[in-house]
Amino acid sequence: MAEEKERKILVAVDEGEESFYALSWCLTNIVNQNSKDTLVLLYARPPRPVYSTLDGSGYLFSSDILATIEKYSHEVAECVIEKAQRLCKDFNDIKVESKAEHGDPRDVICQAAERLNVDLVVMGSHGYGLIKRAFLGSVSNHCAQNLKCPVLIVKKPKSNGGN
């Protein structure tokens, strides 16, 4: 039993609190303080909806507005990843890598896990908001069914009972 195996753990992060809860659960319960684990923080930037170039009345958005939307989405990605990196700071020995990739979160997560040959994927059970989920289906469900590696799905507890 190779106890000291260096594992690669992919944690899917998004704007929601649940994915941060999942990350800290993983840090506390899976990543050993003295391990040489590599944590890959992955933010999937959901694809722009197809109607994004049209406003409600059918007019094209100006390229200015599209650029603003794009810039905002980029800043959100950076902000989420920075927040996740700060959470990892207490764990000095682990290596932390970060990635933000465009696409349907279901594909982004599954493809990255496969490509990076990770040992475990950690994610919140909801994520990507109620509305997006209605279109995309449950991301965690899809990943649990399609990933070849183990998947840890973490739910943020309802506020009774703290941490």
Burial of 64 (C-beta count, 10 Å sphere; 0-12/13-18/19+): exposed
The residues in 103-132 that bind a copy of itself, with binding defined as CB under 8 A, are: 119-120, 125
145 near a copy of itself (CB under 8 A): yes
Residue 101 CB partners (closer than 8 Å, separation 6+): 42, 43, 44, 45, 108, 112
Burial of 51 (C-beta count, 10 Å sphere; 0-12/13-18/19+): exposed
- CA pair distance 23, 1, nearest whole angstrom: 26
Q: What share of the chain is helix, strand, coil (3-state, %, to 5)?
A: 45, 20, 35
Q: Smallest distance from the beta carbon of 38 to a copy of itself, in angstroms?
A: 14
Q: Smallest distance from the beta carbon of 79 to a copy of itself, in angstroms?
A: 24
Q: Residue count at the site for a copy of itself (CB under 8 A)?
A: 30
Q: Which two tokens stand for residue 10?
A: 């992919």
71 near a copy of itself (CB under 8 A): no
Q: Smallest distance from the beta carbon of 61 to a copy of itself, in angstroms?
A: 37
Q: Which stretch, 41-49, 68-76, 106-114, 150-158, contacts a copy of itself (CB under 8 A)?
A: 150-158
Out of 8, 15, 32, 99, the only residue in the binding site for a copy of itself (CB under 8 A) is 32
Binding site for a copy of itself (CB under 8 A): 1, 3, 7, 22, 25, 28-30, 32-33, 90, 119-120, 125, 138, 140-141, 144-145, 147-155, 157-158
